[in-house]
Amino acid sequence: MTEIVVHGIAFSPYVRSVIMALQIKGVPYRVQLIELGAMPGGLGSAEHRQLHPFGRVPILDDGGFRIFETQAILRYLDARFPQAPLQPTEPQALGRMCQAIGILDCYMFSQSIRPIGAERVVKPALMGAAPDEAVVAGALPATAICISALERVLGSDPFLAGEALSMADLMIAPQLHLLSPVPEVRAMLEGTRLLAWFERMLAHPAMAATPPPAELGLPVSLRQLQAA
Ligand SMILES: N[C@@H](CCC(=O)N[C@@H](CS)C(=O)NCC(=O)O)C(=O)O
């Protein structure tokens, strides 16, 4: 088999989604970390942009075939390694999966995860810098809309697309994990079915096997989340 390489940065929830999929499918892989900072080969450098023209991660390299955009990577992996399928075939389940991924990619990442995650989690933990609270406050209304939209997609099922784990769960759970230490987000999740889903996802072997860097201080269980 050709070597599968995931190019990424350590705390990226999108990169984690790809690694989780590879683990669930039992496919061997190697992670190639892209350094943070202005250096040759670093995030956003000319070398990085040769792999990803928008300077983002993850990028998957399968024996020279390169692909970026997490949901494209996951669909590619699902076709390439059909064991443990990650996409439902039933029309409504498929629609729900795609809708949840659309909520993340079109609204939630840019309007909620990126600003709040950067200010309240990444900046203080990795750079020792104080959060810009105006940025956080500005992102909270969109966060509430995203959580309520995902709650509606989930309904009363165990997973976002219905009875079975899908790409949508692998994409949303690591993102929510990044925001889970944020008190305002925890308050929004309180009493929701999405919180029960998140607890199930935190206990999933692929989540447990891909912990974010310890410096971020993310909870590993709901109990730890509630105690924080
Ligand atoms: N739509 C892209 C989003 C990827 C993305 O934004 N990744 C973040 C890390 S979670 C990133 O590369 N951030 C680096 C930056 O913004 O400079 C995907 O699905 O892969």
Rounded to the nearest whole angstrom, what is the distance from the C-alpha of residue 150 to the centroid of ligand 1?
A: 21
How far is the centre of ligand 1, averaged over its atoms, from the C-alpha of 191 (Å)?
30
Beta carbons within 10 angstroms of residue 10's beta carbon? 15
Which residue from 158, 118, 110 is spatially nearest to 136, judged by alpha carbons? 118
> Which DSSP string corresponds to 97-124?
HHHHHHHIIIIIIIIIIHHHIIIIIIII
Q: Give residue 38's pLDDT.
A: 81
Task: Kindly report, residue by residue over 28-57, the tens digit of the pLDDT.
Answer: 999 999 998 888 899 999 999 999 999 999
**Other CB atoms within 10 Å distance of the CB of residue 19:** 20
Helix residue ranges, H only, the chain: 13-25, 46-51, 70-80, 91-103, 114-116, 133-154, 167-179, 183-189, 193-203, 205-208, 222-227
Q: Which residues line ligand 1 (CB under 6 A)?
A: 12-14, 43-44, 55-58, 69-70, 105
The helix-helix angle for 133-154 and 193-203 (nearest 10°) equals 90
> How far is the centre of ligand 1, averaged over its atoms, from the C-alpha of 156 (Å)?
30
Cis status, amide bond into 53, omega within 30 of 0: no
Taking the CA of residue 71 as reference, the ligand 1 atom at the shortest distance is 19
Which residue has its alpha carbon closest to ligand 1 atom 16?
A: 56
> Which residue among 6, 9, 14, 77 is best mutated to probe the pocket of ligand 1, counting the most ligand atoms within 8 A of its Cβ?
14
> Domain residues of the chain, as ranges?
4-80, 91-227
| Structure confidence at residue 224 (pLDDT) | 67
Q: Express each pLDDT in 97-108 by its tens digit.
A: 999 999 999 999
- CATH number corresponding to 4-80: 3.40.30.10
The predicted structure's pLDDT at residue 52:
98
Nearest CA to ligand 1 atom 9: 12
Other CB atoms within a 10 A radius of the CB of residue 48 amount to 21
CATH topology of domain 91-227: Glutathione S-transferase Yfyf (Class Pi); Chain A, domain 2 (1.20.1050)
Among 56, 66, 123, name the best residue to mutate to test ligand 1's pocket (greatest count of ligand atoms within 8 A of Cβ): 56
**Positions of the chain with pLDDT under 70:** 222-228
Q: In the structure encoding, which two tokens stand for residue 148, read together?
A: 């309520």
Q: What is the pTM of this model?
A: 0.96
What ligand 1 atom has the least distance to the C-alpha of 9? 9
SS3 72: helix
